[in-house]
Amino acid sequence: MATSSRVRSTVCALAIGILVAGCGAKPAARVEAVQTETVEDFGLHDQRGDFHSLYYYSDASAVVLFVQGNGCPIVRNGVPSLDAIRAEYAPQGVVFLMLNANPQDDRDSVAEEALAYGIDYPILVDETQLVAASLGVTRTAEAFVIRPSDWRIVYRGPIDDRLDYEAQKVDPGATYLADALAASLDGRTPSIAGMRARGCLVALADAHADAPTYTGRVAGILDERCITCHVEGGIGPFAIESYEDARGWAPMIREVLRTRRMPPWQADPHVGTFANDISLTVEETQAIVRWVEAGAPRGEGPDALAASARVAPSWSLGEPDLIVTIDEQEMPATGIIDYRYLEIPAPVDRDVWVRGVQILPSNYAATHHVLVSIDYPEGFTAPWASDERWLDGVFAGYAPGAEAEAFPDGSGRILPAGSKLIFQLHYTATGRPETDATRLGIYFADEAPDTEYMMTGPVNGDIELPPGAKAYTASAERVFDVDMTLHGLFPHMHFRGKSFTYEAHYPDGSTELLLSTPNYNFNWQRSYMLAEPKVLPAGTKIVCRAVFDNSAQNRFNPDPTQTVTWGDQSFDEMLIGYMTVTWPRRAPAAAGVAAAGAAAGVAAAGAAAE
C-alpha cells in the first residue's frame, strides 16, 4: 500500500513531536505506516454554534470527518452518497461530522450553504485552520475515518470513485469510504488506507511564513490573556513569567488552544460582545500556535513578561467602609472540594445603601469562585422581590481576574440591618493543603440611589435528568414588568451542565440571542458583562435554554447512573439564568444612609470588621 508524502507529513504534524527533530524539516525522509497517524483532540463550533470536542466521541464506533467547502461541486454532489453511508452506519454508532476550513467561508455562509443543499451534518468551522493544517487537509471532499479506540486515521480519501471534475459516474465502481467503515467496524484494517481526494483546493495560510516570535508578538498575548491566572500565587497551576516558562509550556499551550480549554471563557465568540472577554481572537490563536510549531523562537529584545511587575490585587476602589472576613478555611491537598456555605450576620446596625463591593481571597491559588448573597431579615419585604427572593439577593461575586465592582452610576443596593451574608465558596485542590480567609469589602453610598442594581433572572427548579442522557434540555423563562437595563449574564448549572443560552423576546415581537455558552464548564462560574448595557423594555421575556449531559461521556459527571434533580450540592443540578440589572429604585426611600464608617465595627460571629 502506498503512503503519500502528504500522509507522512501529517504524521509529523499530528504527533506532539512537532518539536521532535526529524519532523517538519524533511518529512519525506520519514516512512511511517498510515496506521500510526493519530489525531489529537480539538474543539470547534459548528455552523449552528454548537461546540464539539473530537474526543467526546470516544464511545462512537468510528468518526467520519468530511471536508466541506461552500460552492465546491464535488462536495455538493458527494453529500447524497455520504447520506446513504450515514443511513447505514449511523445506527451502528458511527458519528458523522464535517469540517470547513475555507478562509472565504464563515459560519453564516456555511449555515446558508447547508440549508440550500440539505446538508444536515454538524459542520465544524475551523476559523484558525489549525485543525485542517494538522490533518494535512489540502482539498475539500476528503473523508477521514477515525477510530476512537486509539484516535488513528484508518482511511482518508474520497467517498468513492463516482465524482471527478466535470465528470460523474452514475454508480461508483469503488466504495472506498463504506469499505473502510465496514472493515474498521469489523476490527480489520481497511485494505485501502489513503487515496487522493478530488475536491476543491483549500486556501491554507502558509503556516511557516513569518512565524511570530516570543518578544515580537507572543509575550504580549500571553500577558494580556493568560497572566491574570498564570502568575505566582494565581489560580493557574503554573506561572508563565519568562520566555523559558513559555517555551517549556509551549506544547501544552498549543494543546489547550486547540481544545479550547484555555483561556477559560465559554461564550460563543459570534454572539454578543463582553467587556470582560478574555478569549483569544482567531489571529491571536494562530500566532501562538504557529509560534509553538516553529519551535517557539525567542526573538530579539527584552523579555516583556520577566520585566513586567506583578502587583498583588488590592482594594481598587480605596479602603472599604466595611470589611467582612470569613473564618479561615482549610482545604485538603487533593480531591474534589464541594461548595462551602458560610452564614455571617451583616455587621450593620441600620439599613445601608451600597455603591460597590470587592471580594479579595487571601489565597488565589485555591479560590475558584466566591458568591455572596443577602438573606434579607424577617419582615423586610422589599417590593421588588421576586418569588425567588434568594435570587435577588446575590450581592457580590469573585472569579479569577475579577476586580472591584463599582455599581453603575446612580445605582446602589440596599443592605438591611439584620441581614445575613451567605458566602458560597468554591475551592480547588492544588496538590498541597491550603488555607484561605476571603474578605468582602463594602463601599457605602452617600445617598439613596435612583436605580437599584440587582441580580435576578429565570429559574427552573423542575428538572429531572434521566440516567445516561447525553442531551437533556430544559428551559426557564421570566417576563419583567419594568423597564430595566441589563448589565451582565451569569448562567448557572452544575457538573452536568453542557450548554446554556439567553434569548430576549421583546414586546415588539423581535427576539435576540444575548449569550450562548455552548461549551459550559461548571468549574468556571462567571458573569459575562455586556460591553454595552442593554435596555430591556417592560414586557420583555427572557428565555434560558439549558442542555445537560448526564452520560458517561461528560468527563465531569460524578455518576451517570443517577436520575438528577434540583439541589444545592454540585452532584444535584440547577438551572438559573442570573442577570445583573438596574431598574428604578423600589426599596423604601426611607432606608437609611450610612455615614462612612458608622456601621463598621459591629463584629459578629464568624466575621471580623477590620
Residue 173, number of CB atoms within 10 A of its CB: 8
* Stretch near ligand HEC under the rule CB under 6 A, chosen from 148-156, 224-232, 308-316, 332-340: 224-232
In whole angstroms, what is the distance from residue 474 CA to residue 463 CA?
7
**Can residue 577 be called a binding residue for ligand HEC (CB under 6 A)?**
no
461 belongs to the binding site for ligand HEC (CB under 6 A): no
237 near ligand HEC, judged by CB under 6 A: yes
CB closer to ligand HEC, 253 vs 574: 253
In terms of CB distance, is 175 or 519 closer to ligand HEC? 519
Q: Which is nearer to ligand HEC, 144 or 398 (CB)?
A: 398
Binding mask 356-395 for ligand HEC (x = CB under 6 A): ----------------------------------------
Segment interacting with ligand HEC (CB under 6 A) among 102-110, 228-236, 298-306, 387-395: 228-236
Q: Which is nearer to ligand HEC, 117 or 522 (CB)?
A: 522
Order of all β-strands in the sheet with 511-517: 472-479, 541-548, 497-505, 511-517
- Decide if residue 49 touches ligand HEC (CB under 6 A): no
Among 230, 247, 290, 413, binds ligand HEC (CB under 6 A): 230
Residue 225 in the binding site for ligand HEC (CB under 6 A): yes
236 part of the interface to ligand HEC, by CB under 6 A: yes
Helix (H) or strand (E) holding 181: helix 176-185
Closest approach of ligand HEC to the CB of residue 251, in Å: 9
Nearer to ligand HEC by Cβ, of 251 and 588: the residue is 251
Q: How far apart are CA 317 and CA 357, in angstroms?
A: 9
CA separation for the pair 233, 248 (Å, rounded): 19
Part in contact with ligand HEC (CB under 6 A); list of ranges 225-233, 320-328, 380-388, 408-416: 225-233
In whole angstroms, the minimum distance from the beta carbon of 229 to ligand HEC comes to: 3
- What is the spatial distance between Cα 43 and Cα 55, in angstroms, rounded to a whole number? 9
Is-contact 122 97, C-beta < 8 A? yes
Read off the C-alpha cell for 169. Answer: 459516474
Q: Which is nearer to ligand HEC, 109 or 521 (CB)?
A: 521
Q: Which of 228, 519, 540, 582 binds ligand HEC (CB under 6 A)?
A: 228
Asked if 591 contacts 353 with a C-beta cutoff of 8 angstroms, the reply is yes
Footprint on residues 393-452 left by ligand HEC (CB under 6 A): 400-401
Where does 365-443 have alpha helices with state H? 389-392
How many CA within 13 A on the CB side of residue 141? Answer: 27
Q: What track of x and - describes contact with ligand HEC for positions 271 through 310 (by CB under 6 A)?
A: -------x-x------------------------------
Secondary structure of 296-343 in HEC code, one letter for each residue? CCCCCCCCHHHHCCCCCCCCCCCCCCEEEECCCEEECCCCCCCCEEEE
Q: In Å, how far from its chain's centre is CA 166? A: 43
Instruction: Give the number of other CB atoms < 10 A from CB of residue 482.
Output: 14
**Binding to ligand HEC in span 253-272, by CB under 6 A:** 253, 256, 261-264
Number of chain residues interacting with ligand HEC (CB under 6 A): 20
Q: How far is the CB of 303 from ligand HEC (least distance, A)?
A: 17
252 contacts ligand HEC (rule: CB under 6 A): yes
Beta-carbon contacts of residue 269 (< 8 Å; ≥ 6 apart): 279
- Give whichever of 284 and 351 is closer to ligand HEC, judged by the CB atom: 284
**Min. distance of Cβ 217 from ligand HEC in angstroms?**
13
Which CB atom, from 264 or from 457, has the smaller least distance to ligand HEC? 264
Q: In the complex with ligand HEC, which residue's Cβ is closer, 215 or 325?
A: 215
**Residues whose CB falls within 8 Å of the CB of residue 135, separated by 6 or more in sequence, listed in order:** 10, 14, 39, 65, 99, 144, 153
How far, in Å, CA of 153 to CA of 146, rounded? Answer: 4
Stretch that binds ligand HEC, among 173-181, 229-237, 419-427, 511-519 (CB under 6 A): 229-237
Note whether 137 binds ligand HEC by CB under 6 A. Answer: no
Q: Between the CA of residue 298 and those of 18, 215, 217, 219, 291, what are the distances in Å?
A: 17, 6, 10, 10, 9
Question: Is 72 among the residues that bind ligand HEC (CB under 6 A)?
Answer: no
Q: Is 250 in the site for ligand HEC (CB under 6 A)?
A: no
Q: Taking CB under 6 A as the rule, does residue 249 contact ligand HEC?
A: yes
Cβ 236 to ligand HEC shortest distance, Å: 4
Q: Tell me which of 154, 211, 229, 287 binds ligand HEC, using CB under 6 A.
A: 229
CB 382 within 8 A of CB 414: yes
CA distance 438 to 329: 9
Q: In the chain, count of helices (H) and strands (E)?
A: 10, 31
Through-space distance between the first and last CA atoms of the chain, rounded to whole angstroms? 76
* Interacting span for ligand HEC (CB under 6 A) from 221-229, 570-578, 581-589, 591-599: 221-229
User: Is the Cβ of residue 373 or residue 525 nearer to ligand HEC in the bound state?
Assistant: 525
Helices 176-185 and 73-89: angle between axes, nearest 10 degrees: 30
**Which residues in this chain contact ligand HEC in the complex, by CB under 6 A?**
225-226, 228-230, 235-237, 249, 252-253, 256, 261-264, 278, 280, 400-401
